[in-house]
Amino acid sequence: MSPTSRFRMLRNGGAQQLSAVPVVSAAEFRETVLRAAHSGLRLSALYARPAKGKTGLCAVLADDAEGVLYVLFSEATDEFRSLTADLPQAHLFEREIAESSAIRVDGHPWPKPVRRSLPDSAAFFREEGAEVHEVAVGPVHAGIIEPGHFRFQCHGETVHHLEIQLGYQHRGVEALLAAGPDKRGVFLAESISGDTAVGHASAYCAALEALAGVRAPLRGEALRAAALELERLANHIGDLGAIANDVAFLPAAAFFGRLRGEFLNLLMSLSGNRYGRGLVRPGGTAFDLPKPMAVDFSARLARGRTDLLAIGKLLFDSASAVGRFDETGTVGLRAAADLGLVGLAARASGLDLDVRRDHPHGLYRFRHIPVVKGETGDVYARAMLRYLECLRSLDFLEGLLPDLPGGPALAPCPAPRPGLIAVSLVEGWRGEICHVAETGRDGRLALYKVVDPSFHNWQGLAMALRGGEISDFPLCNKSFNLSYAGHDL
């Protein structure tokens, strides 16, 4: 029996009847998910769902090699034997299930709340011994950043363990989305993580379109892809500036900081908002990109490339800056795979995955972006990948803009059909964004699950610090630049 034969298969941006998804006992669910994961599939989502008045489970696994997704439900259950010891990438999903449902997760190695209760009320992992000391930071930090608590166990300057406790940003996004679809839905999606407004809005709209059984017109899909790549450019370039700032290489920090704004301004010219808010709507995009604007964009992108190459050369030719990146904050290939890292952080450690190639949806079915990956898993790899991915995104945009598909950018998106489950994946600039939506018999949403790439990747940052120096924390943190709001929802 193949490891996936018990699952229901669907593709990114597709929907299936809820009644067609196999329902197995909790014990069989555990064994089936474990077998599939050990055969090379990745856990994209694992969550509690209503089942006959009680609570069951749902797993969504991604087969990146074949480009398909697998879904499985469990029967209603009161308890579930934890997967985490055998499948570390399940650890945060299981903590979330334990805090948000009636299911007891037995045998979880670190059963703490994720976001629901006051985050710092539970005990932290603590190392004991002579000359061991603890450093506590947050939730309010020294800069203009989001709140989170970091607890370091140190021996001298060396970090033995870092525990990251988030949850301060929890504002109830999933519950508000599940009350839809309503006129507020797409705005909530744009506010899951404000620097990924295009990415999350695209995932939300693709899920609604799958539930309705329609596809956005190709021109709308092309404009979504263009905005997604502009968002990637702005964020990657901003992060390169922040990384340069944290090794005190201020000229590159200043130049990259200015250049980031040029790409935000392109999004503003297109959508009226620097973060692309208002652009992506169910059924396509609310704004079009007329020919003269495309010509103007191409010229601005060409200037952006010239600047990017010059500033990139300045940073990566500077031996003292690169010396600080090399072998700092290393996450090995094995750890990255075990933790289920996604996106840029995973590729920097040598994992070969990218939703745009592995599960293409929308325009990415027709126009491809070469995947770049690193090997060393250190700050250097994450910085260099940002730079290289920017160049790939520029190539993509320069090819796309003069050759946009014709037709309308927006078409009507009817109400969802009842009794379905839809999964949509988008390769946001941090990595895989996963939205799962289920509809009830009345065609209203019955459940809405959001998995931001940060949810997978925060544990990667904790591992990057192991054995490193505590003074490297800001640099390591910037090299990941994860979302607190996307994690906390």
Helix (H, G, I), strand (E, B) or coil at 106: strand
Identify residues 195-224 at the interface with another protein (CB under 8 A): 195, 197
Minimum CB separation of residue 477 from another protein in Å reads 14
Q: Which of 126, 171, 334, 365 binds another protein (CB under 8 A)?
A: 171
Contact between 124 and 112 under an 8 Å Cβ cutoff? The reply is no
Taking the C-alpha atoms of residue 120 and residue 114, their distance in angstroms, rounded to an integer, is 10
CA 237 to chain centre: 18
172 binds another protein (CB under 8 A): yes
Binding mask 218-257 for another protein (x = CB under 8 A): ---------------------------------x--xx-x
Q: Which of 15, 270, 321, 437 binds another protein (CB under 8 A)?
A: 270
146 binds another protein (CB under 8 A): yes
Nearer to another protein, 158 or 265 (CB): 265
317 binds another protein (CB under 8 A): yes
CA dist list (Å): 284 to 196, 245, 287, 305, 367: 17, 38, 9, 28, 18
167 binds another protein (CB under 8 A): yes
Minimum CB separation of residue 372 from another protein in Å reads 24
278 binds another protein (CB under 8 A): yes
Taking the C-alpha atoms of residue 302 and residue 307, their distance in angstroms, rounded to an integer, is 9
Cis ω for the linkage preceding 292 (within 30 of 0): no
Q: Which of 6, 277, 361, 487 binds another protein (CB under 8 A)?
A: 277
Q: Which of 314, 371, 388, 391 binds another protein (CB under 8 A)?
A: 314
- Contact range with another protein by CB under 8 A, out of 53-61, 189-197, 400-408, 432-440: 189-197
191 binds another protein (CB under 8 A): yes
Long-range contacts of 308-315 (CB under 8 A, 24+ apart): 308/237, 308/259, 308/387, 308/390, 308/391, 308/394, 311/240, 311/252, 311/255, 311/256, 311/259, 312/240, 312/387, 314/251, 314/252, 314/255, 315/240, 315/244, 315/249, 315/252, 315/256, 315/383
96 binds another protein (CB under 8 A): no
Nearer to another protein, 13 or 282 (CB): 282
- 211 CB contacts (<8 Å, ≥6 apart)? 15, 416, 417, 420, 422, 437, 439
**370 phi and psi angles, rounded to 5 deg:** -65, 135
Helix (H, G, I), strand (E, B) or coil at 165: strand
Nearer to another protein, 10 or 177 (CB): 177
CA dist list (Å): 23 to 60, 72, 111, 130, 479: 13, 7, 26, 53, 41
Contact between 481 and 454 under an 8 Å Cβ cutoff? The reply is no
Minimum CB separation of residue 275 from another protein in Å reads 6
313 binds another protein (CB under 8 A): yes
Other beta carbons less than 10 A from residue 30's beta carbon: 21
DSSP letter for 404, please: -
Q: Which of 91, 95, 112, 170 binds another protein (CB under 8 A)?
A: 170
Q: Which of 136, 302, 310, 415 binds another protein (CB under 8 A)?
A: 310
Nearer to another protein, 331 or 450 (CB): 450
Q: Which of 115, 232, 359, 386 binds another protein (CB under 8 A)?
A: 115
The residue ranges that bind another protein (CB under 8 A) are: 115, 118-119, 139-140, 142-147, 167-173, 175-176, 183-184, 187-188, 190-195, 197, 251, 254-255, 257-258, 260-261, 265, 268-275, 277-278, 286-287, 307, 310-311, 313-314, 317-318, 483-485
